[in-house]
Amino acid sequence: MITKKFLLKNSEEILAVLGDQDANLKSLERELRVEIFVHHNPDAALATLTIKGTTANADKALNRIKDLLDEFYEEKLSPIAPEEHGELRPLPERPLYRSIFGEAVYPRTENQRKYMEAISAGDLVVVIGPAGTGKTFLAAAAALKALKTGLVKRIILTRPIVEAGEKLGFLPGDVSEKVHPYLKPLHDAFYTLLGPERFRTLREDEIIETVPLAYMRGRTLENAFIILDEAQNTMPEQMKMFLTRMGTGSKAVITGDITQIDLKEKDRSGLVLIKDILKKVPAVKIVCFGNSDVVRHPLVKEIVQAYEDWEKDNPQA
C-alpha cells in the first residue's frame, strides 16, 4: 500500500473533482479499490486528497482525478467556431488544449486554425506540409481532447515502417521491441502533452495504442481517434487499407510531408495520390501547410526554405 496526495486549489476544483455528495470519489474507490480521504483547509478554499492503495491503483486514481480537473477546465474553454462564407475568424485567445504541465496549445497560424476546424467538423482529415508545422502535435492534442470529452474511447497511433538496412526479422527482441524505434517519434507529442507516466498508463490500459500500419489489416476501429503519421511512405494499397479500417464513431487524421518520401516509387506514394483519388468525396478535408506554418526552432524554417531553393536549382539531383 502506498499514499498519494493531490491539492485542490479552490472551491470550483473541489466541486469538479468530488462531484455531488462526493459521487466521483466514491465511484473511483469502488472501481479502483482505493481509499480516498478529503482534508478541507478551514482557513481557505483548499482541499487535500489522500489516496491509499496499491501502487498501480493509486497511480490510476491520481490520473483519473487529474483528468476530472482537466475536463472541468476544458469545458470552460470556448470552442473554435467554424468558418462562415469563406471568412477567416481571428485566432482563438483561449487554448485548444492544456498539457499536464499547464502549457497551453494554440493554433499559431491560419492554416493551423483551419486544420483544427477541419478535425472538429469532419471525420477524415488529411494534412500535408513540411517538417515543424505541427501536423502530428496538433493531431495529438485534438485526439486527447476528444478522449477527455468522451467523443472517442481510445486513440490509435500508426505509421508505415519503411525498412532501411537491417530487416525487422533480424533485429533483436519481440515485435514491440523491433518496431519501437519506428514508432518513437509518434510518442514525443504525447510525452509533451501527458508526461511519460500518464502516457505509459494509458498505453498499459490500451486506451492509447501504437501499432505499425501493416498490423492494421483486418481490424475495424470503432469509437477511436486514429492518427496515421508519415503517410508519405504508404503505397496506395496501404492507404486504402488504412482508410477502410474506420468504424462507427471514429475520426482519422492523416499527416505527412511529400518532400520526404522514402519509397523507391515516389510517384506512387499514397499521400501524393490521395488528393486525386478522394477529390470527389466532399467529407474528406485536406489541409496544406507551407513554410510560413513552421513553428519549431526558427532555424527550421530557414532550413526547409534552403532545401526547397536548392531542389529547384538542381532538379536532377
Asked if 137 and 103 count as a contact pair (C-beta separation under 8 A), the reply is no
CATH class of 2-75: alpha beta
Looking at domain 110-311, which of 3.40.50.300, 3.90.79.10, 3.30.70.1520, 2.40.37.10 is its CATH number?
Answer: 3.40.50.300
Percentage of the chain beyond pLDDT 90 is: 34
The pLDDT score that the predictor gives to residue 78 is 44
Among 24-33, 91-100, 225-234, 264-273, where is mean pLDDT lowest? 91-100
The pLDDT score that the predictor gives to residue 166 is 40
Asked whether residue 269 carries a pLDDT value surpassing 90, the answer given is yes
Contacts of 85 by beta carbon, 8 Å cutoff, 6+ apart? none
pLDDT band for position 43 (50/70/90)? confident
Rounded CA separation 181/161 (Å): 10
Task: Kindly list the domain boundaries of the chain, sorted by start residue.
Answer: 2-75, 110-311
The top-scoring range by mean pLDDT among 224-233, 276-285, 293-302 is 224-233
Asked if 190 and 136 count as a contact pair (C-beta separation under 8 A), the reply is no
Express each pLDDT in 126-150 by its tens digit: 999 988 888 999 999 999 989 888 8
Rounded CA separation 202/209 (Å): 8
Contacts of 287 by beta carbon, 8 Å cutoff, 6+ apart? 111, 114, 115, 118, 125, 126, 127, 128
* Alpha helices in the chain, H assignment, sequence order: 11-18, 23-32, 55-75, 110-121, 135-148, 175-194, 196-204, 236-243, 270-277, 298-313
**Mean pLDDT in residue range 66-93:** 57
Q: Tell which wins on pLDDT, 163 or 261.
A: 261
**Mean pLDDT in residue range 278-302:** 83
Asked whether residue 29 carries a pLDDT value surpassing 80, the answer given is yes
